[in-house]
Amino acid sequence: MATRILIADDSAIVRQCLGRLLCGHTDWEVCGEATDGEDAICKTQELDPDLVVLDFLMPRRRFGARGRRRWHTPQGRTEQGGYVC
């Protein structure tokens, strides 16, 4: 089963380039894209991806420099994510 990835970035060019890069890997599937912070939260809850590639300085929600946020999935799982800058 492929790892489902959500790309969240306010730059269309970055989303497009990451999508092309990630789609080249047979075990990865880009399940969606988000264009701002609120959209990233909604799509994470809606799509339940395995991984979110997240730009943490987006409009409508800044995820901050602390580097961690709890995500609540539709299945009730609570997971922590981190960023690499």
Q: What pLDDT, on a 0 to 100 scale, did the predictor assign at position 66?
A: 46
User: 27 is in which domain, residue-wise?
Assistant: 3-82
From CA 82, how far away is CA 56, in angstroms rounded?
10
Q: Which residues of 51-67 are buried (b: 16+ CB within 10 A; e: fewer)?
A: ebbbbbebeebebeeee
pLDDT of 53 above 60: yes
Q: pTM, whole model, 2 decimals?
A: 0.72
Q: What percent of the chain has pLDDT over 70?
A: 66
How many structural domains compose the chain? 1
C-alpha angle with apex 29: 16 to 40, nearest 5 degrees? Answer: 60
CATH number of domain containing 8 = 3.40.50.2300
